[in-house]
Structure 1
Amino acid sequence: MNGLEGKRVLITAGGSGIGACFARRFHAAGAKVAICDMDAEALVETAGALPGVISVAANVTQPDEMQVLFDQLDSHWGGVDMLCANAGTGGPAGAIEDLSLEDWRACLSANLDGAFLACGWAARHMKEQGNGSMLLTSSTAGLWGYPMRSPYATAKWGVIGLMKTLASELGPYGIRVNALCPGAVEGPRMERVITREAEAHGLDPEELRKRYVTGVAMKTWVTADDLADTALFLASDASSKVSGQALAVDGHTESLVG
């Protein structure tokens, strides 16, 4: 992928899953990579395999912890070229009347507050540079209603609202902002989601797993590398006019589990 050598890339929730895959792929492409994660053990494991990567244990919902990360990057890099605001949580599964306000707020905070803090920091640098790219991780749940997952769907729609607004706000400064909308991504996180949803729906987990594929036109799951392919494209010069887009990488979702 052209134009990635030496680019400064910050990835939130980069210790495992999609974020760790992003870190590996950008590192392999020659980018300078920084990752943060609240899971210190996962962070150490991922960073240990990527020489030169900056890693900071931080909860994206905590401004003081994120400021430690930003201060390090200000010192080491003095700017940033690509932000992957990837942190989030699946939140609780259940009927709206059975969910607690505490769980609702925790889900919105993890998915939105972290993106807000990271985008605000990145915007200051990118405005001074006159260029940059931001990629916010939403979900196909940010494009559809999602029964039994109201906090998650609301948060991911909010991510797209933030992306659309920032694309307009920052476009005059040469900054591109897009959202990535993954479908069902293979891995431990999705298995945890299936367990929670199966319980909420009163279904066998294997039956629910089949339903996820049935609702996709290509009848397939998504891999983290599928998503990384899009992230690398959006960091490159090849996407210089792509902004304000909610890009679904999902094999074309036709329905969500309901």
Structure 2
Amino acid sequence: MAQRVFITAGAGGIGKVIAETYAAQGAQVYVCDQDHRALESLRDGITGSCVDVTDEAALDDWLQAGLAVLGGCDVLINNAGIAGQADPVEALDLAQWKKCLAVNLDAQMITCRAIAPVMKRQKSGAIINLSSTSGLFGAPFRAPYAAAKWAVIGFTKTIATELGPYGIRCNAICPGAVSGDRMDRVLAAEAQARGVTPQDVFEDYASGSSLRRFAEPEEIAQLCVYLSSDAAKFVSGQAIAVDGNTETYHSV
């Protein structure tokens, strides 16, 4: 039976690559995203709806609609995230803090709250929550993002203990810097601020990992596929870094 896979923010960036990887293997893939145009470009085998994950009712409606169409959920991937405010702690704005946590953390609770009873009835399932290496290290001037990503790991480990007796596995993935449009913008902005080239900034960031490069989106997608497969049927409650082994940390 084809896996039934739900992915938040699944029409662009890492989420799109994850969705396409599952679809290529014959899975039924159901995504949400807030980008109308990106949703229109989804390949065959991927169904999507426009949803703001900070809208609790809209997110719940998306989940229930997917469950009605697919008849269940085998894999839930919480991929939605935003960078949040980048300022010293004394300059943090409470509204921006709450928005960062709403996207990066609260949305994961809402989806897990809806999907857990379904997976309990099935006595099977895999939940994968996207954290970050910012959930493993302190990140100066990125307190909202780091706090949310640390919380994702705590949330994941907790629900792993709750859901494990029902045969449900819960893991967190912690990417480092990942190649793509978002990191290109980060490199360009920092290069401009520092008066250097984007290549200089890339080399600075890449030198912080033992493998001296960024992750590729496909490498995140492949780990998702592994964690939701029978090959990982005894892997749960883990926070797994895909970062080339961080030696010197740069917040991403």
Q: Same fold judged by TM-score > 0.5? A: yes
Per the alignment, residue 34 of structure 2 pairs with 38
Aligned partner of 1:62 among 46, 55, 58: 55
User: Is the contact between residue 93 and residue 196 of structure 1 (CA under 8 Å) also seen in structure 2?
Assistant: no
Q: TM-score, normalised by structure 2?
A: 0.94
| 1:198-242 CA-partner distances (Å, limit 9, x unpaired) | 67x756463432221111011011010011110000111110000
Per the alignment, residue 238 of structure 1 pairs with 231
Of stretches 157-166 and 51-60 in structure 1, the one that deviates more from structure 2 is 51-60
User: Is the contact between residue 93 and residue 197 of structure 1 (CA under 8 Å) also seen in structure 2?
Assistant: no
Per the alignment, residue 132 of structure 1 pairs with 125
Aligned partner of 1:103 among 93, 96, 104: 96
| 1:39-98 CA-partner distances (Å, limit 9, x unpaired) | 11111112xx2x232211101111111122122112112210000111011112222222
- What letter is aligned with 1:142? G
Aligned partner of 1:181 among 158, 174, 178: 174
| 1:152-178 CA-partner distances (Å, limit 9, x unpaired) | 111100110110101011111110000
Q: Does 2:135 align with 1:142?
A: yes
Q: 1:144 aligns to what SS in structure 2?
A: coil
Structure 1 consecutive aligned stretches of length 4 or more whose deviation exceeds 6 Å? none
Q: TM-score, normalised by structure 1?
A: 0.92
Per the alignment, residue 21 of structure 1 pairs with 17
Tell me, which stretches of 5 or more residues in structure 1 are unaligned? none
Per the alignment, residue 4 of structure 2 pairs with 8
Q: Report the CA distance shift for 1:115/1:198 in structure 2 as closer, same or farther (over 3 A).
A: farther
Q: 1:122 aligns to what SS in structure 2?
A: helix
Distance 2:214 2:118 in 1: 36
User: Is the contact between residue 60 and residue 111 of structure 2 (CA under 8 Å) also seen in structure 1?
Assistant: no
Tell me, which stretches of 5 or more residues in structure 2 are unaligned? none
CA RMSD after TM alignment:
1.7
Distance 1:197 1:110 in 2: 24
Matched residue pairs, number?
A: 250
Aligned partner of 1:113 among 89, 106, 109: 106
Distance 2:202 2:94 in 1: 28
Aligned partner of 1:172 among 165, 168, 179: 165
Distance 1:257 1:63 in 2: 32
Distance 1:226 1:152 in 2: 22
